[in-house]
Structure 1
């Protein structure tokens, strides 16, 4: 069996109760080595509890978890000492991990913190704190990384940096499990999505599969919407929804396809407007979170890389 097919992280029926509150219920998933999985959901959905369960920081009420090899963690809060210098903070953890000073220097370079090595942690911004927390997590080159809400407070360039860091880790055979409140932040990096709502898994699969079930659409105004929809169906474009304002919301068909169908049906087009579906709107539809704040997406509206 190849390494890429080997399970690195496994959750089986994980349930956690805090007194009368069920934080997570019957959560199961598998993350293969060499991949990135994202636990996504609104605040209170159980993401941090699951991350704690996987790290052994929280004892399950029921179910089992398996992590192959040592895990490095980026927690929230980050566990950094405000008065320490960047290098000093990293050296403290390196000493506990038995890592040499040479590795500290290499990680400062790898995480872009070399020029900040002498600064106090209290002077760092959110993005720089994430870099330092990531450097600490990478000490000793653990095969598994678990990151709790690492995108919080990051702008697009720092999100891209973190994605590159995790991709480098997986190219070397490592595995990552991260949590995120934003689907838009997770889809460009995740190979697998596990969406949680009120402690229960409501979606599990690839970003591409999720996108297919929530496609972008073209909003079409036509002199005869029904005739146009019939013509589109004849061309094989059956995912067409009639809106309350009389316009059609058409998926999969391109502008030229709609124009050809309109000619065939002898229908005049009065409007043709793209309506991309933002990932965080999809997250709101999947979960019981109400209207979702829309996080910026650095590339295409869905950000699916493959």
Structure 2
């Protein structure tokens, strides 16, 4: 099927049942063409299951998944799933050379992907000796061999150092700048909020929030925490100036959003309110995620079937394009 309205992927009412355990329930979201969409939620929220459904490794128990990629074919989706499917005894270059013919990629394309993923300096390194971040780069390099328009990446930020996260953000932004699309999963909101165009938050197999990072920030703004006497008088004075988002904390301090320190002090002075202290309270993205989700109470008892690391018409766990 083909997704409409310019979407690379459209997920409509999708559910997946494993024996008596429901992995995901009535999930709806779209991945716009030319955008990065992030599936975010705690372990067990259903992210990996949804990615396997999107790539065709599993079939939904209910609902529909539509793929809208012009000229869709076996090389249109590049997937990095778990397990990564890397043979520990091969070198980095040998791994890519083994997959290149199956992806219809030339030796020159292998060299290009090695350079693009920063793996050229370790091309002769045995995979068993790679740190986790470089192993993820190699799985991604495998997925990029066919230069697919759609990337589906299952938590590529796991065990990644800060510079690896930064590199992944840049790669995703370059991919969509060329007109590609990406669906990326993450356990932590902080890992994806700077590169995602839209967020889909999952909790216990259902979508609990979706929208842009800017929309999420507006709903959970940074605050300045003010110790003032009397606090209620300051809140009233701020509201009169249009700063209505002020929350009284249990300790009597006032948590104010959208107003800077100079404004708060000026309003307090005009209202004859004494300020003892003003402390910044920036909200961390993962605090926001924790407020939206809860840990899954049940886990699947049945393992997902393992797929051989090979380039086949359906995507594989080795990160090969579909």
Is TM more than 0.5 here? yes
Question: The residue matched to 2:101 in structure 1 has which SS?
Answer: helix
Q: 2:309 — aligned with what?
A: none
TM-score (norm 2): 0.87
For the residues of structure 2 that align with 1:119 and 1:265, how far apart are their CA atoms? 68
Q: Which residue of 1 aligns with 2:19?
A: 19
Q: What SS is found at the alignment partner of 2:114?
A: helix
Cα distance in structure 1, aligned partners of 2:17 and 2:143: 28
Q: Distance in 2 between matches of 1:107 and 1:63?
A: 36
| Structure 1 ranges of 4+ moved more than 4 A | none
Partner of 2:194: 188
The answer to whether structure 1 residue 173 and structure 2 residue 179 are counterparts is yes
Say if 2:239 is the partner of 1:237.
Answer: no
Q: CA deviation at 1:188?
A: 0.6
* Equivalent residue number for residue 227 of structure 2: 221
Identify unmatched segments of 5+ residues in structure 1: 291-306
- Residue 301 of structure 1 aligns with which residue? none
TM-score norm. by structure 1 comes to 0.92
Which 5+ residue runs of structure 2 have no aligned equivalent? Answer: 297-322
Question: Which of residues 151, 156, 169 is equivalent to 2:157?
Answer: 151
Note the C-alpha offset of 1:271: 1.0
1:75 Cα offset (Å): 1.0
Cα offsets for 1:169-228 (capped at 9, x unmatched): 111110000000000011011000000000000011000000000011110001110111
Q: Work out the CA distance in 1 between the residues paired with 2:19 and 2:206.
A: 18
* 1:94 corresponding residue in structure 2: 100
Whole-angstrom CA distance in 2 between matches of 1:261 and 1:289? 42
Q: Please report how far the alpha carbon of residue 62 of structure 1 lies from its aligned counterpart in structure 2 after TM superposition.
A: 0.5
- Please give the secondary structure, in 2, of the residue aligned with 1:44: coil
1:241-262 CA distances to partner (integer Å, 9 max, x unpaired)? Answer: 1111111011111101111110
Aligned to 1:284, what secondary structure does the other structure show?
helix
Q: Distance in 1 between matches of 2:201 and 2:283?
A: 17
